[in-house]
Structure 1
Amino acid sequence: MRARRTSAEDSPITHVERVAARAGRTVPWPAWVPRTLRDAYGFPPWEHQATAASLAQAGQHVVLATGTASGKSLAYQMPALSRLLDDPRATVLYLSPTKALAADQLRALIRLGIDGVRPATYDGDTPREEREWVRRHSRFVLTNPDMLHHALLPGHAKWAPFLRRLAYVVIDECHSYRGVFGSHVAHVLRRLRRLSAQYGSSPTFILASATSGDPADAASRLTGLPVTAVTDDASPRGAVTFALWEPPLLPSDEPPPAPAPRQAVPPAPAGTDPADRYDTVPLTDTTATTPLNDATMTAALTDATMAAALTDATMTAPLIGTTATAPPTDATMTADGRTRRSALSETADLLTDAVVAGTRTLAFVRSRRAAEVVAAMTRRSLDEAVPGLGDRVAAYRAGYLKEDRRAIEQALMSGDLLALASTNALELGVDLVGLDAVLICGYPGTRASLWQQAGRAGRAGGEALAVLVARDDPLDTYLVHHPEALFGRPVEATVLDPANPYVLGPQLCCAAAESALRPADLALFGGAVAQEAVDALTRSGALRKRPTGWYWTHQGRPDVDLRGTGGAPVAVVESATGRLLGTVDQGSSHVMLHPGAVYLHQGTSYVVDGLDLDEAVALVHAEEPDWSTHARDVTDLSVLSVREYVDAGPVGLFLGEVDVTSQVVSYQRRRIGTGEVIDTRPLDLPARELRTVAVWFTISPNALLTAGVEPGDIPGALHAAEHAAIGLLPLMATCDRWDIGGLSTANHADTECPTVFVYDGHPGGAGFAERAYATAKAWLRATREAIASCACETGCPSCVQSPKCGNGNNPLDKKKAIAVLDAVLAALPDQP
């Protein structure tokens, strides 16, 4: 890697962190573990494995939060399998967030060869003819929260023997249950506990997590039970070399590449797999100048609040949103004309070097499209050097068919593949033995995820290499130049809120549809807040109260989507053959699969012939056009209510509910290579509404004048501050910039003054706006520092330009953004 540059000063490596190797600590097998099981493993457990297993065997709910490859599987297999061997009628339920992880765990259980356990997966890939066998005969069922919610709990009568004997519930990778998805899963587990109790069982919960900020509290909120945490990792670990890599600026005498086409994409559809949505967000319409429609606020602002925010001087300005992203490019251009190589190009080059050197490498990228692009670039470079060598590189992402995913996993584990470009679909604990290095293309949003991805490398305790390749983004740039923000700091706590009314109400309807809700059940679902929700559901007619409890009033089951993807995935079907290529979630379908869109699948380009949203089918045909497509949308935001606020004189800080409406209205075709716009074509797609939680600040025009921000400077100053604030919020909250959206305007219809909004990209909110409100001064101070410390003259992707901006990063005013933030910080108290 160092040899790629001629001098240390010219090196893209900004920091190298060396994590020392660590010896492991084994202990004797606990006396309660049967000899059969000890012999099946053939080695003694690590201390943390035995500690967690003994707590679970004694009936305590436990969460094991240790590093990647620390053997968490053995910790829950020990008590679970021991119980199955001791009690021939007992059963165990295993939950994982992905089907790949459940399949991997099934292989591990089968390798143990223990008679009578009959482990089996029960998920969307399980053929229907096998599901009845699993219900009747398997004693160790591996599934996921979606299947538990959609099939097992609604059909609990058929699962009665299994639930009656349920001894353990294993929740693997529980740190992944965060935000709205995590809040839904929390209630699915409460529904499981309620039905299990009705059948006479009270299972012990064993949770496995990556290292997190407060694993016991997060596990308790997830399960609704007191949970003991085991966090002292006693497993051996090989030395890790962790490099931070900033793609270089291209020489000033080298002509910049032609502008690469921008790929349209919306703020993350709620609950979507975080890495599977970033290549599919629509651009905000850059020509839209219509201000927001008048909106009636459902909660009145006090006079004192508004007095802090309003002045006689008002001005109208177009809304400036951040609801789009750019795709891979060869380089990005700073505002002062300099160009920096893209993170994708650097990652593809490093992956090429790794394969040539025989280094088995996994490259994590942040989108489905990027996974395809990095794999294609790497294959092309390798085939130019050694024909056929490119065949040892593949892409891996969600949306592939089951057989394609399994074939790629097997090829990687067997060594047929030397390298893989993957979304975070392989971040979780799939046993990828024998990897030497991990490339992480762009900060994944949290330190927990960063270390989880880095932990994929290391051969049986051998040394490993991890490289974080920074994107041209304020947060990435900040981190590669402030390594103390990554290393030596605890990872984030998991954020979830089971009391979220957008989650609680629908989940109570599901519970009532499964079995009548009794007053005693409400304590399980939150007590007073559950009672309020039940009363509201009863008034609306969704539930009916009877002496024996509350009953679901409709014929069908409640339609509740745990991951918030907007419904069933859209099937991508080849028109000529009827072959199913893959699937795309509903939240991304308007952008990825609109009529005329170019869709990438395993390196092949297809053009969409038609999209049927009612039938959830898109028909495509294979074609290699010389143009790319880029969807465009218009977005409006209205304030519904204010939960909390800070009156800081000329500055107001608010937390409340907002309504964000967006509609994909057209798409551009752009020439590949030059970025030339061929034409813009209209689309007729339905509008989508997101009711969520936002944090926003207002500042009076008089205060802006005092700070040196003239009326004509306000749009660019607020726009630049908004971009940087969104980029830096992941320092404070367990999110990344793709979980959140933003809007700025010189005069908002609801606040009647200059305003910057940052909102959660999840229905009902996910806790990120609340975290921003609670840490507002620290958050905005870091934002101000990131802008001021950037060496560019007028703003660049490293500070105020955004890859999500639908207005083409125009207008932006870097210097005036600093003035705005100085004025806000001077007025805000240290704590709201």
Structure 2
Amino acid sequence: MDHREHLLASLNRGPNPPEVVHTRVLPERDAVAAPWPEWAHPEVVDAFRALGVPEPYRHQAQAADAAHRAQAAAWEEVQAARAAGRSVRTSSTRHVILATGTASGKSMAYQLPALDAIVRGALDPGVGLHSREATVLYLSPTKALAADQLSSLRALGIPSLRAETYDGDTELGQRAWIRDHANLVLCNPDMLHAGVLPNHPRWARFLRRLRYVIVDESHGYRGVFGAHVSMIMRRLRRVCALHGAAPVFVGASATSADPGASFARLLGAERDRVSAFETDDSPHGAVTVLLWEPLLEDHVRWDGLAAGGRGGPSDRATPGSADPRTGDPAVPRTHDPADPWAHDPAEPRHAGPVEPRRAGPPAPDPAAPPVPTGVGPNGAGNGPGENGAPRRRSALSEAAEMLTDLVAERVRTIAFIKSRRGAETMAAQAQSYLHDVAPEVADRVCAYRSGYLPEERRELERQVRSGEMLGVASTPALELGIDVAGLDAVLVAGWPGTRASFYQQIGRAGRAGQDSLAVFVASDDPLDTYLVHHPGDVFDRSVEATVFDPQNPYVLAPHLCSAAAERPLRPEELGLFGPAAPGVLEGLERDGYLRRRPTGWFWTHPESAAELVDIRGGGGHRLQIIDGETGGIIGTMESGQAHSQAHPGAIYVHQGANWHVEELDEEGRAVVVTAAEPAYYTQARDITEVTMLEVEDTRDWGPVTLHRGLVRVRTQVVSFQRKEVASNRVIDEEPLELPAQELVTRAAWWTIPPTVMTRHGVVEPDFPGALHAAEHAAIGLLPLVATCDRWDIGGLSTALHVDTELPTIFVYDGYPGGAGFAERGFDVARAWLEATLAAIRACECEAGCPSCVQSPKCGNKNNPLSKDGAIRLLTGLLETADADREGDGRSGRFGK
């Protein structure tokens, strides 16, 4: 049995599992090498050779050479400006972006020129204005990635390299030494924004010598987070120029559409100033990718056991019963007490607000686990699920069992899931199963997510790297470029949001050159359903463009204040911040945030301007989670999550342990908890309303009108339910008195005359259900055409909206001022609705289910819903859009 066959056999699902919808083998790729660049200092080259790198791959050498040449040209301009006594300009500096696959060696491509500059500067430092000493700033979205980079840099053993991390975990006593002595600082955008730029005079030595700024995982800077980071990059370029430096920015990215344009927008540079390298010349073993759709739960209960499968969470194994495959005692299964699909603001790729919901009665919390259902015609099921809808088996449980089987066979595996609670639950389930089937490795599975204390995080990273942990259930925190060689399998539980992220995740395995296995386990979600049945949209299409809007006034305004606090803004500098800057400055001056003087705009307040900015887009700040009995800090949480996950009475999960929330102190930024072992979990419920504020653009689809503009979304958590873990039965519901939260954001919306609906067979009593089902499915499919997650967006539908006086469907960004997602949907609206209609039609259910028109965050408890009405409605909308075929800005099937 070869390695690939061994990996497939380790899943223990038989030769032809019915869950496998499609199999694709990504072929092995051979390496293309290139000589070391002639300019590379021998000390640096020898250091890489000593680590087993005989020569670089071609794409590494090309990108490194472009960065070196750009830095040499920039240094000449800096020297000329200093000699002439004039200001340094950064507008002419060239920059580089390397956008290749996971494990393609992007790190060496930027380390080579950066270390060459440091070594040469140390050997020939010069003096005063003619100092040739060089410094480098490395930026990553996560602390874990920075720590991994630091380890790899120190492993090179270069004597003149003084590399240190500078982030929130850095001890105060070390910070001054780093500012004064380090020549390579590893930082993140948060610390750059709050700790470096406001204190740039203290960083003068470092900034004046700055030659390179490395922007790692730059594809992850999207949405509101990407807009904030874009402003931070512009502020950094401005501050560098103030100190007489013009560093070259070198981006490292996963594959993305037009990475050069995205990186230029991130930096605020002209497109022709960025050189992009996208050809991957690194080797990689073949990857067998399975697209896996869990069976409907009653199929799992009866058919799955007969086929030799593990069975699902509704096949309650009783003590003493046997596993039909082995005769071993069966492991009791329960439903998941966590929602693996919940948007998680603490993770780097999906930082965002409290989950937006529909208007209507109190809504179920997104942590709703699946409920058992009956089987209807064609296996669709019409049993006692929510509103009689069928349910597929939870992707979390499916992935947990795969993780169990793979680890039991000593296959090193990483399983990705979106939420922190999902990662904790998956690891706990796998550990529980392993205690029964392979107890000797039960302790070699762990969870990894943000929110851990620094010492916990570092130890977990060490254990994963060393192989002590055979299996890890992780949020996207480990998706990024942490060097974990030797993994054999990757499980992706639920679509990660973008093709770029999907390929990043499955690329974690096979880095040592061996064949590997990747399984995408579809969640009960319209997008996941669509993708497993349309594999060409996973494997045969280019990856998405990175979507973010740096001109969002909610983003731009506080950064202009921060820039003015760093040094008064001069009129000639406004071009760096984009065309919206003058108008936003007028508002800031009018509201008293800035004061205009003949030389520019001044920040005149005693408090820190940087504290106005929440760059992760969570709409607030971090709360400390405190053990009420010991006073110890067990973790942190974004304030945007607090109302839904840390309200009084909530059950909070941390590293597999349950905690009961005793108090939510938002003013004191604390959540007080006590240890608990409840037999229930909790679900928050809320209500939402949408009000139109401004129409910014419209498009006529015959009698239907598509709009884009500004809206106000009002959300209030009003109660929570306690539900039994084993049965999901509602124990009770308790009201909450929490303040409403308002969000001014951007939306796309359709206004639909009733005649369009009736002409296509939707009778008036079915208007609400048809609109509601279409809205849910459209929200689920927007991530196919925009780099977002369904938890980044919200929606509302109504048969008669008070502002439009017509049947209306809204889809809005869940971030102040918008994130560009709804605008992207407006631009490619026809393609978006085509995919939405295809997803509903492809689903095998009769009346609607979570795989097509149900939503995990619906404020109306998924009622009313009309799947047939949604099909008729969307068909009608697309017919009216025929005349607008060329008007949605598309190029290709799903847009630019």
Please give the range of the TM-score, normalised by the shorter of the 2 chains. Answer: over 0.9
Tell me, yes or no, if structure 1 residue 576 matches structure 2 residue 623: no
Cα distance change on mapping 1:122 and 1:442 into 2, 3 Å: same
**1:325-355, Cα deviation, whole Å (9 max, x unpaired):** 2444476776623542211111011001101
- 1:229 alignment partner in structure 2: 276
| Contact 2:713-2:742 within 8 A present in 1 as well | yes
**Contact 1:267–1:324 (CA under 8 A) maintained in structure 2:** no
Describe how 1:139-178 pairs up with structure 2 within 5 A: 139-178=183-222
Tell me the equivalent position of 1:53: 64
Residue in structure 1 matching 2:412, options 360, 364, 376: 360
**What is the DSSP-based 3-state SS (H/G/I as helix, E as strand, rest coil) of the residue aligned with 1:720?**
helix
1:398 corresponding residue in structure 2 = 450
Q: Which has the higher contact order (CA 8 A, sep 6+)?
A: 1
Residue in 2 aligned with 1:384? 436
1:202 Cα deviation (Å)?
0.8
Distance 1:271-1:251 versus aligned 2 partners, 3 A rule: closer
8 A Cα contact 1:265 1:591, kept in partner: no
- Decide whether the 8 Å contact of 2:214 with 2:250 is kept in 1: yes
Letter in 2 for 1:202: A
Q: Give yes or no for the alignment of 1:21 onto 2:28.
A: yes
Pair 1:241-2:288 in alignment: yes
Q: Could you give the per-residue CA deviations for residues 197-236 of structure 1, whole angstroms, max 9, x where no partner exists?
A: 1111111111111111110000100112221001111111
The alignment status of 1:508 with 2:570, answered yes or no, reads: no
The CA distance in 2 between the partners of 1:125 and 1:625, in whole Å, is 34
Q: Could you tell me which residue of structure 2 aligns to residue 11 of structure 1?
A: 18
Work out whether residues 399 and 426 of structure 2, in 8 Å CA contact, stay in contact via their aligned partners in 1.
yes
SS at match of 2:835: helix
What letter is aligned with 2:571? P
> In the alignment, what sits opposite 2:382?
336
CA contact (8 A) 1:264 1:326 kept: yes
- Equivalence for 1:325: 366
Query: 1:563 Cα shift?
Result: 1.0
Determine the structure 2 residue equivalent to 1:444. 496
Give me the whole-angstrom Cα distance separating, in 2, the residues matched to 1:505 and 1:151: 19
Aligned-pair distance for 1:263?
A: 6.0
- Find the aligned partners of 1:646 and 1:269 in 2 and give their Cα distance: 34
Contact 1:732 1:779 in 2 (8 A): yes
Confirm or deny: 8 A CA contact 1:658 1:694 kept in the other structure. Answer: yes
Secondary structure of the structure 1 residue equivalent to 2:539: coil
Paired with 2:290 and 2:515, the residues of 1 have a C-alpha distance of 14
- Contact persistence 1:269–1:565 (CA under 8 A): no
- CA shift, 1:713, in A, is 0.6
Letter in 2 for 1:632: R
Aligned match for 2:159, one of 115, 118, 127:
115
**Is 1:72 the equivalent of 2:106?**
yes
Q: Tell whether 2:655 aligns with 1:644.
A: no
Matches within 5 A, 1:611-622: 611-622=664-675
Deviation at 1:264, TM superposition (A): 8.1
Is the 2:338–2:421 Cα contact (8 Å) retained in structure 1?
A: no
Q: 1:536 aligns with which of 587, 601, 607?
A: 587
Change (3 A) 1:266 1:825: same
Q: Which amino acid aligns with 1:494?
A: T
CA distance in 2 between counterparts of 1:651 and 1:157 reads: 57
TM-aligned CA distance change 1:648 to 1:15, over 3 Å: closer
1:159 deviation in Å?
A: 0.5
SS in structure 2 opposite 1:158? helix
Q: Distance in 2 between matches of 1:368 and 1:557?
A: 32
Residue of structure 1 equivalent to 2:892: none
Counterparts of residues 86-105 of structure 1 (less than 5 Å): 86-88=120-122, 89-105=133-149
Return the offset for 1:324: 4.8
Change (3 A) 1:330 1:800: closer
Measure, in 2, the Cα distance between the counterparts of 1:378 and 1:702: 54
AA of the residue aligned to 2:691: S
Letter in 2 for 1:650: P
Q: Helix, strand or coil for the counterpart of 2:392? A: strand
Identity rate of aligned residues, in percent?
Answer: 53
1:675, 1:204 → 2: CA distance? 56
Q: CA deviation at 1:390?
A: 1.4
1:695 lines up with 2:748 in the alignment: yes
Q: Aligned AA for 1:56?
A: A
**What is the Cα deviation at residue 787 of structure 1?**
1.3
**In structure 2, do the counterparts of structure 1 residues 645 and 690 end up closer, same or farther at CA, with 3 Å as the change threshold?**
same
Asked if structure 1 preserves the Cα contact closer than 8 Å seen for 2:339 and 2:369, the reply is: no
Residue 566 of structure 1 deviates from its aligned partner by 2.4
Quote the residue 1:567 is aligned against: 620
Match of 1:550, SS state, is strand
Q: Tell me, yes or no, if structure 1 residue 521 matches structure 2 residue 573.
A: yes
1-side partners of 2:647 and 2:440: how far apart?
A: 35
Q: Which amino acid aligns with 2:56?
A: P
Residue matched to 2:686? 633
Structure 1 segment 642-681 matched on structure 2, within 5 A: 642-681=695-734
The residue aligned with 1:547 is 598
CA distance in 2, matches of 1:104, 1:7: 39
Whole-Å separation in 2 of the counterparts to 1:327 and 1:450: 25
TM-score (norm 2): 0.86
Measured in 2, the distance between the counterparts of 1:575 and 1:256 equals 37
For 1:551, give the aligned amino acid.
Answer: F
Q: Is 1:220 aligned to 2:264, yes or no?
A: yes
Which moved further from structure 2: 260-269 or 804-813?
A: 260-269
Question: For 1:462 and 1:373, how far apart are their aligned partners in 2?
Answer: 30
What is the identity, as a one-letter code, of the residue corresponding to 1:378?
Answer: A
SS in 1 for 2:796: strand
Q: How many residues align?
A: 796
* One-letter identity of the residue aligned with 2:196: L
2:352–2:618: 8 Å Cα contact kept in structure 1? no
Change (3 A) 1:232 1:261: closer
Matched-pair contact (CA < 8 Å) for 1:14–1:244? yes
Equivalent residue, structure 1, for 2:43: 36
Gaps (5+ residues) in structure 2?
1-7, 71-93, 123-132, 303-312, 317-333, 375-379, 384-389, 889-896
User: After the TM superposition, which residues 756-771 of structure 1 pair with which residues of structure 2 at under 5 Å, given as runs?
Assistant: 756-771=809-824
Unaligned runs of 5+ in 1: 289-320
Match for residue 77 of structure 2? none
**Aligned to 1:827, what secondary structure does the other structure show?**
helix
**What letter matches 1:702 in structure 2?**
T
Matches within 5 A, 1:430-469: 430-469=482-521
Cα RMSD (Å): 2.2
Displacement of 1:641: 0.6
Q: Alignment partner for residue 809 of structure 1, among 843, 862, 869?
A: 862
Cα deviation for residue 682 of structure 1 reads: 1.7
Which residue pairs with 2:542 in the alignment? 490
Mapped partners of 2:617, 2:297: distance in 1? 41
Q: Deviations over 1:534-569 (max 9, x none)?
A: 222222221111122110121112211111122321
Aligned counterpart in structure 1 of residue 178 of structure 2, from 134, 159, 175: 134
For residue 201 of structure 2, give the secondary structure of its aligned residue in structure 1: coil
CA contact (8 A) 1:282 1:631 kept: no
How far apart, in 1, do the equivalents of 2:351 and 2:223 lie?
16
Quote how far apart the aligned CAs of 1:481 are: 1.1
CA contact (8 A) 2:40 2:112 kept: yes
1:585 to 1:359, Cα distance in 2 relative to 1, 3 A: same
Alpha-carbon offset, residue 388 of structure 1? 4.3
Structure 1: distance between partners of 2:222 and 2:411 = 34
Shift, 1:113, TM fit: 1.0
Mapped contact 1:5–1:11 kept (Cα < 8 A): no
- Counterpart of 1:709 in structure 2 is 762
Shift of 1:131: 0.7
Name the residue aligned to 2:468.
416
